[in-house]
């Protein structure tokens, strides 16, 4: 066998979703060489159910996701390791399509993600966005499957937030190739599934981006973007202060949000090329989600910087 695929699942209190995830791996057209579950100090029946489902289980003391992932691949006996979250389900040809890309010269492979059973306007628009992003000249910036030799050479996962993206930066910087396996699909059952969840996640992501990603890779800090949106929030604050003397200044608050939304909507349609490819309804919702991310993420960044 040319490739031995080790699939690694990180888990913390995943007794509900983990069995279905493992079951989907066992239904694949090409079975994995092994399924490893890194139980990150769960308090429920995660380890018990994983063993019952036929996975190799390693129970560790609670640690960051990056260190848990790094522990996982170092236990693998395969020459290819692929990662999944425990609340994900894969399609039948997931492994087959990923391994094809390694035959084409890939050092790392990223698959295609979809929302699991989108059941509201937000999840349906998010799923449409995932499809559009992949179909619109997508350039992989991280991978979910790697040659173990590549991980050894670049040093594996680090103890940082968004460890997959940070690893992807190092892999590409080292000159390795990451390819997209378009027909390998993972379905995500977890968040975000509402606009409010997007607000919380992007604030959280921004804060941890500042404390980990940009701390270790300061050159990747998008200063222009951060500066522009910081100025936006500053203009809101100025409008509120001036509104104490003249209420007309408060008109800037809704006006600025509307103008920014229209700018993002136009960018998505005409610059990103969504017009004619994504329904207008989904364009409206996707642009709204973009507005939330654009405004909340820098607040998290600033908070993270202040906490250093």
pLDDT given at position 99: 98
| Mean pLDDT across 259-271 | 95
Lay out the sheet containing 178-188: strands in order across. 56-59, 34-39, 5-11, 80-85, 145-147, 108-115, 178-188, 88-90
DSSP-derived secondary structure letter, 275: T
pLDDT given at position 1: 62
CA torsion, points 213, 215, 218, 221, in degrees to nearest 10? 50
Residue with more model confidence, 285 or 65: 285
Domain boundaries, the chain: 5-188, 195-306
Q: pLDDT band for position 76 (50/70/90)?
A: very high
8 Å CB contact between 231 and 181: no
The whole-model pTM stands at 0.84
Task: Please give the mean pLDDT across all residues of the chain.
Answer: 92
8 Å CB contact between 287 and 265: yes
| Mean pLDDT across 212-241 | 84
- Domain 5-188 falls in which CATH fold? Spore Coat Polysaccharide Biosynthesis Protein SpsA; Chain A (3.90.550)
Q: pLDDT band for position 160 (50/70/90)?
A: confident
């Amino acid at each position: 066998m040319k490739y031995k695929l080790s699939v690694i699942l990180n888990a913390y209190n995943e007794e509900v979703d983990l069995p279905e995830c493992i079951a989907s791996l066992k239904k694949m057209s090409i079975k994995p060489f092994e399924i490893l579950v890194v139980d990150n100090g769960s308090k429920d029946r995660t380890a018990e159910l994983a063993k019952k489902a036929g996975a190799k289980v390693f129970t560790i003391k609670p640690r960051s996701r990056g260190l848990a992932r790094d522990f996982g691949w170092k236990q693998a006996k395969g020459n290819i390791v692929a990662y999944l979250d425990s609340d994900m389900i894969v399609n039948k040809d997931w492994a087959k399509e990923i391994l094809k890309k390694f035959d084409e010269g890939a050092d790392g492979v990223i698959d295609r993600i979809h929302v699991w059973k989108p059941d509201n306007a937000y999840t349906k628009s998010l799923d449409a966005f995932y499809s559009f992003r992949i179909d619109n000249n997508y350039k992989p910036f991280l991978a979910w499957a790697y040659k173990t030799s590549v991980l050894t050479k670049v040093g594996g996962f680090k103890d940082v937030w968004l460890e997959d993206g940070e690893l992807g930066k190092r892999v590409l910087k080292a000159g390795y190739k990451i390819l997209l396996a378009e027909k390998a699909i993972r379905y995500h059952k977890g968040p975000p599934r509402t606009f409010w969840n997007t607000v919380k996640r992007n604030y959280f992501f921004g804060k941890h981006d500042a404390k980990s990603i940009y701390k270790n890779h300061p050159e990747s800090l998008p200063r222009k973007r951060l500066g522009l949106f910081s100025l936006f929030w500053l203009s809101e604050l100025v409008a509120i202060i001036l509104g104490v003397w003249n209420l007309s200044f408060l008109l800037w608050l809704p006006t600025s949000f509307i103008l920014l939304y229209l700018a993002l909507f136009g960018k998505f349609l005409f610059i990103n090329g969504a017009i004619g490819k994504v329904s207008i309804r989904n364009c409206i919702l996707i642009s709204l989600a973009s507005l939330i991310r654009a405004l909340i993420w820098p607040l998290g960044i600033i908070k993270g910087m202040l906490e250093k």
